[in-house]
Structure 1
């Protein structure tokens, strides 16, 4: 299968079969896999569903739950969050994204919910006894004066489908901002251009307005990593909301005011410098991805990130102790005790990493090989065990065209982020007795 435009397959593939570059057996196997997948889904989804399910209450509740569980708290100086509903009488929501229905891509993954709760709407509904004032942030002087007069400032900044969505032509969207070609065809979406940080006007807004109010928080909207190093010290708290969906404004507000205790973790590393990441030619038509990227690249090169992969704060605290590591039933098993040492119920995501310092081939320092989310009441303690099948630590040998297992000592880590200070380290030995 080739998505979404035929470039290498089609007539070129037919020609490759005719001249002997690709065997008919290879084509038959590929076709069989496609047919087998189609049949499996047809069998699994044989029942018919009523259109009444679209946007039903259960699905809306699930959308809200997914948004709530994904909220990732990146900074919370002086425990400024959660805001008090009683004490926070005047609230400023600053930034044009605060009042936009922003659920991400307008390309092939676009969805059309009956409604979308914006951050501004969500905050107004949660903080019902507070005065909530919206300012789009375009007039810096007015934003500064407003920040000085309120009890809390909530910046909503980041991206929308035009900034980082799928590139589409002939878009029927009034938000599209570019006209291309002689036929006045509209185009929307595409990669971020020039930087992986916020737009310059948003950075200026945060840096100049943020320090004017000690109860200032940035809510980040976006589909992937956003650089924070340039402005992170100008606000007291940072919440990564991603694209939180139709009930996103509700989830954001419930998190800011403590109805939800954030338990999400970063699915990417946030580097201190963009130069720490693979460099990109923004005008290129083809890109070659090297082996190392993300946290694996930073660790391999010994570079410290702004925030590590797997990082995320909570309104409570957790301790991880009594780690154990073993090999059993062709699995590497890491276990530990997790205790909620704070005064609020909350979720912790325990993560297991495997390291390869003894390897004779080029391998990462360590890679994530399992995780488990656990909910704990204040003072509650649970044992968490995470298993990694031996299959998942093999390396691909291009000379033999096979996945191979190295018989050696492997480092095993368990904790709550990829940072070494957040992990308990151990070691296991994989010998010839293990099925390879």
Structure 2
């Protein structure tokens, strides 16, 4: 028997409007069924019980299922570095992938994640995280791509394109969620220009890409929590950007006022019926809330499901999870993500790549060298079937070389290993205990206890030994056994941008006795390295590099792969050069300038600028020219590999307007393109720069103004590159409405 949903789906497939068919379905639904579509598929305590028994990493989270009409609902799964329902492929974290500046690669990652999502039954992907890196101490920095709006937007759009070949994608967390510890209560104050020019362009880029779903953030913006924020969820998303999808809350405590949230434009509270089901039912019964508002939310969800063909999405077999081709891609991604920051000459020869033919003994030092360390242990955690450590990767690559290992718990012993070797590789950095999703019991979160629903089944009380504590704790993971399942550590925002003192002591001790010391940094964002930088021969940022990261690191160290990644943020010489960051703030103002822009504004020198990364070869740029054509400027440049080995470089285009009437960044990334070249090869690279990307927000008319004048265009290998090719183009004033 053909269901009503199947009939609607066929009509949409045959050309009927998806909104019209959604309204037909709504007309056939009871009031109870329509209200059911406003929340996750399970009552709160029933859902918590399931999660406590491992549900988070075992099954999807459904919503909007109406069996009577054949409506399958959507089935949600996270996350940014792979499917969290395992065993799945664990890619390097998003920040690492941001360093690749490789849009095509990111789209391939999205395609693979989409396939694996279908293998576990998911139809909604929650992994397109594009919150801007305002400050590198942010605990979840690893889940986004970097500090620049244009770069973050292009990478997120690529992931969306790839994933949406198979499932619906969700972009998150809307908006201004760039702090972790205080995320449940911090109020972010921001002006219109800063909001629209700095913290929202990347979201709009992904809306324009056609993303199906938006997830709101926990924090509040200009006094309204994001889950209840009509200015964000309707004024910007719907009215200004013409978003044609649905909005879900962040998970548990993602809103504060149930009735206000549905009026504001929040379509579904996830993942359970928690904070708004009862208030909305009561508001409808008393006439405070019209069913027209409810129907609007349901239409957003159903029309999107129909548009994407939920219910007819091809399935994938279970063995697609972490299959060999996906693991190979994870290795390629890690290779293209690792940044070579330093590579000095020792006895006239660069320490990297390793000269394997002359090596007899290599020391690998540091507990992280053999640790399973994929990054955050929170909602983005992936249950990879295997993880190749740095030590294993190096041992396999240097077969025949004596590779010794020391975990550095005994400093004199570690030093002895370094002395007895020709090379010392010191692996240091962070784990999920140092940075990541924060789950704790601070006073900033206990105020949420009143939002936990009363237990409607007394038998559940006996199943949770921490029930009383859960009522007081009031956090997304409210019981010890759930915490164990989701695998949270301390996490949160970083206390320091420096390495732990024991790591600094280790590096200095090893470098003192071994001139060929290579430091491998495991991290999710910037690390200040001035304390020991000049003491070592080489520095590689390996990030949380995924299940094949150890092999990829060895590929980079041995020269089997030439490093090509670039920093997706600036590393300052001192933390004071960055914006103010208070991880326990209750209120904070986001200013226009941050990261590289702020250093430029204050004429501060970067230790390593945005976009910087070394290679084992060299590149030259020549014959640059610009062509203004319609709505874009075509930037063309010849790139030549002037070295002896093949390699890749990222052509970065920066724009600035001298004499602007409005304060703006000295230079702003407006385009980039990655090119692979054999030794001696030259290739013409063309980067399109939309004129719209040069416009500023007019706070009087609330539209966009492209100032007339002569624009400076820098064709560079990193921000502020002294060897950049300089061009200029004169543009006329224009206005844009969205």
Work out whether the TM-score is over 0.5.
Answer: yes
- Greater CA drift, 180-189 or 204-213: 180-189
How far apart are residue 6 of structure 1 and its match?
A: 2.4
1:183-212 per-residue CA deviation (whole Å, 9 max, x = no partner) reads: 994652433443111111101111221131
How far apart are residue 143 of structure 1 and its match?
A: 1.6
Answering whether residue 49 of structure 2 is matched by residue 49 of structure 1, we say: no
When residues 169 and 193 of structure 1 are mapped into structure 2, their CA distance, relative to the original with a 3 A threshold, is closer
How far apart are residue 367 of structure 1 and its match?
A: 1.1
Q: Which residue of 2 aligns with 1:66?
A: 333
The 1-side partners of 2:628 and 2:694 are apart by: 13
Q: Which residue of 1 aligns with 2:387?
A: 116
The 2-side partners of 1:23 and 1:425 are apart by: 59
Q: Which residue of 1 aligns with 2:258?
A: 10
How far apart are residue 11 of structure 1 and its match?
A: 3.5
Say which of 582, 592, 596 aligns to 1:295: 596
- Equivalent positions of 1:24-423 (< 5 A) are 37-42=304-309, 46-78=313-345, 79-168=350-439, 185=480, 188-423=489-724
Would the aligned equivalents of 2:262 and 2:293 in 1 still touch at CA under 8 Å?
no
Would the aligned equivalents of 2:418 and 2:510 in 1 still touch at CA under 8 Å?
yes
1:67-96 per-residue CA deviation (whole Å, 9 max, x = no partner) reads: 111111000001110012221211111111
The 1-side partners of 2:569 and 2:290 are apart by: 40
1:303-328 per-residue CA deviation (whole Å, 9 max, x = no partner) reads: 11000100010011111112112311
1:324-381 per-residue CA deviation (whole Å, 9 max, x = no partner) reads: 1231121022111110111001011111111133321121111111111111111100
How far apart are residue 34 of structure 1 and its match?
A: 5.4
Tell me the TM-score normalised to structure 2 length: 0.54
The 2-side partners of 1:392 and 1:36 are apart by: 31
- Greater CA drift, 398-407 or 387-396: 398-407
Would the aligned equivalents of 1:330 and 1:435 in 2 still touch at CA under 8 Å?
no
- Greater CA drift, 160-169 or 296-305: 160-169
SS at match of 1:144: helix
When residues 362 and 105 of structure 1 are mapped into structure 2, their CA distance, relative to the original with a 3 A threshold, is same
The 1-side partners of 2:312 and 2:675 are apart by: 31
When residues 335 and 48 of structure 1 are mapped into structure 2, their CA distance, relative to the original with a 3 A threshold, is same
How far apart are residue 284 of structure 1 and its match?
A: 2.2
How far apart are residue 425 of structure 1 and its match?
A: 1.6
| Superposed CA RMSD | 2.9
How far apart are residue 394 of structure 1 and its match?
A: 1.3
When residues 113 and 403 of structure 1 are mapped into structure 2, their CA distance, relative to the original with a 3 A threshold, is same
Would the aligned equivalents of 1:85 and 1:129 in 2 still touch at CA under 8 Å?
no
1:47-70 per-residue CA deviation (whole Å, 9 max, x = no partner) reads: 111111101111111111111111
Q: Which residue of 1 aligns with 2:51?
A: none
The 2-side partners of 1:419 and 1:6 are apart by: 41
Q: Which residue of 2 aligns with 1:176?
A: none
SS at match of 1:421: coil
Which structure's residues are more often helix, by fraction? 2
SS at match of 1:420: coil
The structure number with the bigger radius of gyration is 2
When residues 365 and 43 of structure 1 are mapped into structure 2, their CA distance, relative to the original with a 3 A threshold, is farther
Would the aligned equivalents of 2:364 and 2:405 in 1 still touch at CA under 8 Å?
yes
- Greater CA drift, 133-142 or 335-344: 133-142
How far apart are residue 218 of structure 1 and its match?
A: 0.6
SS at match of 1:98: helix
SS at match of 2:519: strand
How far apart are residue 15 of structure 1 and its match?
A: 7.9
- Greater CA drift, 25-34 or 153-162: 25-34
When residues 418 and 23 of structure 1 are mapped into structure 2, their CA distance, relative to the original with a 3 A threshold, is farther
SS at match of 1:153: strand
| Structure 1 gap segments, 5+ residues each | 171-178
How far apart are residue 403 of structure 1 and its match?
A: 2.0
Q: Which residue of 2 aligns with 1:173?
A: none
When residues 189 and 285 of structure 1 are mapped into structure 2, their CA distance, relative to the original with a 3 A threshold, is farther
- Greater CA drift, 188-197 or 87-96: 188-197
The 2-side partners of 1:420 and 1:31 are apart by: 51
The 2-side partners of 1:120 and 1:268 are apart by: 28
When residues 159 and 2 of structure 1 are mapped into structure 2, their CA distance, relative to the original with a 3 A threshold, is same
Which structure's residues are more often strand, by fraction? 1
The count of corresponding residues between Structure 1 and Structure 2 is 425
When residues 410 and 88 of structure 1 are mapped into structure 2, their CA distance, relative to the original with a 3 A threshold, is same
The 2-side partners of 1:422 and 1:32 are apart by: 54
1:5-50 per-residue CA deviation (whole Å, 9 max, x = no partner) reads: 32355244368799xxx99999988776655554444469811111
1:212-262 per-residue CA deviation (whole Å, 9 max, x = no partner) reads: 112111111111111111111111000111111000000001110111100
The 2-side partners of 1:430 and 1:237 are apart by: 44
Q: Which residue of 2 aligns with 1:175?
A: none
- Greater CA drift, 407-416 or 380-389: 407-416
Q: Which residue of 1 aligns with 2:206?
A: none
SS at match of 2:497: coil
The 1-side partners of 2:354 and 2:614 are apart by: 16
